[in-house]
Amino acid sequence: MARRDFRLPAADEAFLDSLGVAWDAVQEGGVQWTILRQYRLPPGYMPEQVDVAIQISAGYPDAALDMAFFLPHIRRVDGRPIPATDGRVAVLGAAWQQWSRHRTGANPWIPGEDDLASHVHYMDAWLAAEFERVR
């Protein structure tokens, strides 16, 4: 049963419904989280599916969404380390793996244009780009 402690903008809820995965809107300790259940990762990661938590910033949708958190923790199938994933954040009693990925001046959050859908697409892009980095 989906948990809906708060409502997201209608366009966000429609986007989440279109993904074909279960999702929750959880409020815990005054912090709002959207959790995508059994989200499929691009090839090259283990496990192939994870839960993804995205913190809904105070002031969203004008305020930017940032980072993503994964459970179980993700690793590369080739065993190479993934930088900036050492942080752990407690959500729903579990330690989620923090991927510290942020918007930049070249790719800023644009209020009125960016939303949960663009953040998930941004997340998908940096998950895929992990395998394109020069070592």
What pLDDT score was predicted for residue 86?
Answer: 81
| Of 22, 24, 16, 6, the residue nearest 116 (C-alpha) | 16
Whether 2 is in a domain gets the answer no
* 5 domain-assigned: no
- pLDDT confidence of residue 135: 53
This prediction has a pTM of 0.93
- Residue 133 predicted with pLDDT over 80: no
For residue 135, tell me if it sits in a domain: no
Q: What is the mean pLDDT of the chain?
A: 93
Q: What does the pLDDT read at residue 78?
A: 93
Q: What percent of the chain has pLDDT over 90?
A: 81
Q: Is the pLDDT at 105 greater than 90, yes or no?
A: no
Is position 114 within any domain? yes
